[in-house]
A = this chain, B = another copy of it.
């Protein structure tokens, strides 16, 4: 984007407000989220700033940003405490008075009465907004967001907690920003599982170098790679026409490792959709992942047709009692072994009468690794209608990273096994 057609493209700038960021207590995931979304909307971002809850310094940063960018997005500092002064500072810099916003006041009243609680004095601070601001409803907290349209720039105020910022951005800010840009920028994301990041990059290197409209960019996620194809044109139809042949080329290259080209579809949703399409039920038997695999599946709305129950069998005894893993298997091969994973999947499928059973057993660390079975070693089994596939994986990173990688790999394996069984498709030699 640097050095691109900047005359036509609107410039956005991010300001993240919070002492925790300045102290390094938290990582600035909001900036990465907002930057990625803005790039997807075709906005150029040249600066991101982090500043504390301090009126003087925040004013300085905001004035600088408004002087060089068309849109300034601030996150954080909208809470009820005295420290929170983003709204007050932005109002002052933009020359706006503060006034009580009645709908926000009522929403705060309701938020507390729903919980049988009394709001404290400082909660009302959140119902005060700069005059003339466009209010952004917060369905996940009490602090509303706001947009201040000034001559210099549009200033967008968002709450700091990612669980509030993200849905507010999706629901209210994306449509607002889309309406501002005269060029229509469209993008489509091709989501891939079972292929490693560097392999995926090598596979599209020639495409990245050779294109300017559409552009393509790769994003590594845990256990997945997303490739975003973005094009700009006078209208949506023309933009999509530019995108289509590139997506087709990616489909040729990645084949069945592409699990979706839909923005909202997650890997777990693609597994659930496959199960629904084939009228299958799914169960999970987890050891090192401790419920994370079930939890990801259950986060798909409408999961109840597919997923009825699952178990976490952390102890060997639980693997034996709840899943019927043989004592001799555990003694001979150990809990982290191909054979144990296979018996866990079989046990879960039989005990819970499920069509598909996934089992995960591994060494998440930090302790418990040996030369033969190092930390990060995970076996995943997937049984579809009596046919079991077991794979061995070696993940890296800390305990949580190993577990997240194992969950993503389990979802990819479930998808692959269901597809192979029901659609007789084949998979390329991805690093699955």
Residue ranges of A at the interface with B (Cβ–Cβ < 8 Å): 1-3, 19-29, 31-39, 45-54, 57, 61, 64, 79-83, 111, 114-117, 119-123, 139-141, 161, 163-164, 167, 187, 196-199, 201-202, 205, 208-209, 217-220, 222, 228, 284, 286, 288-295, 297-299, 301-304, 307-315, 317-318, 322, 352, 365-367, 374, 394, 396-401, 403-404, 431
Across the two chains, which residue of chain B brings its CB closest to A299? B400
Residue of A51, A292, A295 contacting most chain B CB atoms (<10 Å): A295
Q: Please measure, in the bound complex, the distance between the C-alpha atom of A54 and the C-alpha atom of B68, giving whole angstroms.
A: 15
Q: CB < 8 Å: which of B25, B80, B199, B220 contacts A198?
A: B80
Contacts A36-B24, A299-B400, A311-B309 given: A48-B49 contact, CB under 8 Å?
yes
Question: Given A23-B217, A163-B404, 5 other A-B contacts at CB below 8 A?
Answer: A21-B48, A24-B32, A27-B29, A120-B199, A298-B314
Q: Please measure, in the bound complex, the distance between the C-alpha atom of A177 and the C-alpha atom of B318, giving whole angstroms.
A: 46
Q: Please measure, in the bound complex, the distance between the C-alpha atom of A367 and the C-alpha atom of B209, giving whole angstroms.
A: 45
Q: Please measure, in the bound complex, the distance between the C-alpha atom of A288 and the C-alpha atom of B25, giving whole angstroms.
A: 29
Beta-carbon contact of B47 and A61 below 8 Å: yes
Across the two chains, which residue of chain B brings its CB closest to A110? B396
Q: Please measure, in the bound complex, the distance between the C-alpha atom of A199 and the C-alpha atom of B123, giving whole angstroms.
A: 9
List chain B residues, Cβ under 8 A from A164: 397
Beta-carbon contact of B220 and A161 below 8 Å: yes
Beta-carbon contact of A39 and B54 below 8 Å: no
Q: Please measure, in the bound complex, the distance between the C-alpha atom of A309 and the C-alpha atom of B399, giving whole angstroms.
A: 19
List chain B residues, Cβ under 8 A from A288: 298
Beta-carbon contact of A139 and B198 below 8 Å: no
Instruction: With both chains docked as a complex, state the minimum distance between the C-beta of A252 and any C-beta of chain B, in angstroms.
Output: 20
Beta-carbon contact of A295 and B292 below 8 Å: yes
Instruction: With both chains docked as a complex, state the minimum distance between the C-beta of A362 and any C-beta of chain B, in angstroms.
Output: 12
Q: CB < 8 Å: which of B47, B115, B199, B398 contacts A394?
A: B115
Contacts A201-B120, A310-B291 given: A397-B49 contact, CB under 8 Å?
no
List chain B residues, Cβ under 8 A from A294: 290-291, 312
List chain B residues, Cβ under 8 A from A308: 314-315, 317-318
Instruction: With both chains docked as a complex, state the minimum distance between the C-beta of A296 and any C-beta of chain B, in angstroms.
Output: 8
List chain B residues, Cβ under 8 A from A27: 27-29, 31-32
Beta-carbon contact of A208 and B82 below 8 Å: yes
List chain B residues, Cβ under 8 A from A121: 202
Instruction: With both chains docked as a complex, state the minimum distance between the C-beta of A292 and any C-beta of chain B, in angstroms.
Output: 4
Across the two chains, which residue of chain B brings its CB closest to A115? B394
Q: Please measure, in the bound complex, the distance between the C-alpha atom of A398 and the C-alpha atom of B294, giving whole angstroms.
A: 18
List 6 A–B pairs whose Cβ atoms lie within 8 Å, in order of A's numbering: A49-B50, A81-B208, A116-B394, A117-B196, A122-B205, A295-B403
List chain B residues, Cβ under 8 A from A20: 219
Q: Please measure, in the bound complex, the distance between the C-alpha atom of A36 and the C-alpha atom of B198, giving whole angstroms.
A: 31
Beta-carbon contact of A23 and B36 below 8 Å: yes
Beta-carbon contact of A312 and B314 below 8 Å: no
